[in-house]
Amino acid sequence: MSKGLRGIRAVGAASAVVVLAAGVSACGGKSLEQNGGSPSSGSGGKGSLVIGSAGFTESAVLAQLYAKVLGDAGYSTSVQTLNNRELYEPALEKGQIDVVPEYAATLAEFLNAKVNGSKAKPVASSDVTATVAALTKLAGPRGLKVLAAGDAVDQNAFAVAKAFAEQHHLKTLSDLGRSKLPVKLAAGDECPDRPYCEPVLKQTYGIDVTGIDPKGVGTPQSKQAVKDGADQLVLTTTTDATLDQFGLVLLQDDKKVQNADNVLPVVNAKHAGSPQIADALDRLTKVLTTADLTALDKQVDAERKKPSDVATDYLKSKGLIKS
């Protein structure tokens, strides 16, 4: 499952927070580990931290990266998987988990809707500085602290078959619009109603979208349809690690209309708001790139490695942990 929470695929289960509350104890992680969390790591001399992970590969990898750098900094850490934002964000507010890897624009709009209603004016944009500022303003009153964003970003993206791109000299979405080629788009069935899906392709880039093939966002079925020529364009993400396997290439969002979904840590301010935690996580944030994230995702999705092992190898290679 891809991240897909930038207004393209809705995630439900808000009512499951009641279930969560029954199974998650306050900070410390013991009951979390008994309910599917990873074993604790780190010396624990500075205390215990629970890292939240959503139910998709990239979040699992990021959570392991966070857990290991914090473990190396002297904290006892465990990872708890909570399938979606409707579950883990309230748990973070309550201090039932302490740290989560997040995406700036997506969380900003999630909190915006939570605070101001589903029809609130958007606060996120392609400007990462402005987006993080808006997120920080929304998060603070809820007891959340937003740490620095890095260069690694996972945004909505659109891909075509490599042969199709070469044949029509396509490198950007603007190129596709200027070509006047009719394209069928493989995406989620809600794509026509999402501003950064079909509407932005038509209105901003002038692309002739003739229809939506509802095979999902970045699913193997949607990418296979483009590879086979049944569809010409697929909605995926910038860190999709399997495009090469399907002979696909991303078209550049040259007008920079997609929101700034840069990766950043968000913590419970009371339990994990210390400068030491921020410093440990910032060391990773400053190093991690979009290309790194894609490669890490690929090791899990395509090479079937464990997120924990992938995270350890990466951190050692960058000199971010000692062992």
Residues 14-153+260-317: name the CATH superfamily: Periplasmic binding protein-like II (3.40.190.10)
**Residue ranges of domains in the chain:** 14-153+260-317, 156-251
Please say if the pLDDT value at position 14 is more than 50: no
- Please give the average per-residue pLDDT across 30-35, as a whole number: 35
pLDDT at 24: 42
Quick one: three-class SS letters along the chain? CCCCCCCCCCCCCHHHHHHHHHHCCCCCCHHHHHCCCCCCECCCCCCEEEEEECCCHHHHHHHHHHHHHHHHCCCEEEEEECCCHHHHHHHHHHCCCCEEEEEHHHHHHHHHHHHHCCCCCCCCCCCHHHHHHHHHHHHHHHCEEECCCCCCECCEEEEEEHHHHHHHCCCEHHHHHHHCCEEEEECCCCHHHCCCCHHHHHHCCCCEEEEEECCCCCCHHHHHHHHHCCCCEEEEECCCCCCHHHCEEEEECCCCCCCCCEEEEEEEHHHHCCHHHHHHHHHHHHHCCHHHHHHHHHHHHCCCCCHHHHHHHHHHHCCCCCC
Instruction: List, for residues 61-105, the tens digit of each pLDDT value.
Output: 999 999 999 999 999 999 999 978 999 999 999 999 999 999 999
CB burial class (10 A; 0-12, 13-18, 19+) of residue 44?
A: middle
Same CATH topology for 14-153+260-317 and 156-251?
Answer: yes
Assign residue 36 a region (left: φ > 0; alpha: ψ between -120 and 50; beta: otherwise): left
Using alpha carbons only, what angle is made at residue 250 by residues 224 and 158, rounded to the nearest 5 degrees?
A: 70
Flag whether pLDDT at 35 surpasses 50: no
Q: What is the CA radius of gyration of the chain?
A: 20
pLDDT of residue 38: 59
Could you report the per-residue pLDDT of 186-239, keeping only the tens digit for each?
Answer: 998 889 987 789 999 999 999 999 999 999 888 999 999 999 999 999 999 999
What is the residue whose two structure tokens read 């279930």?
Answer: 19
Over range 116-130, report the average pLDDT. Answer: 93
The CATH number of domain 156-251 is 3.40.190.120: yes
Say if residue 16's pLDDT is above 60.
no
Instruction: Give backbone dihedrals phi and psi of 183, rounded to 5 degrees, phi first.
Output: -135, 140
- pLDDT tens-digit series, residues 149-166: 999 999 999 999 999 999
For residue 26, the model assigns a pLDDT of: 34
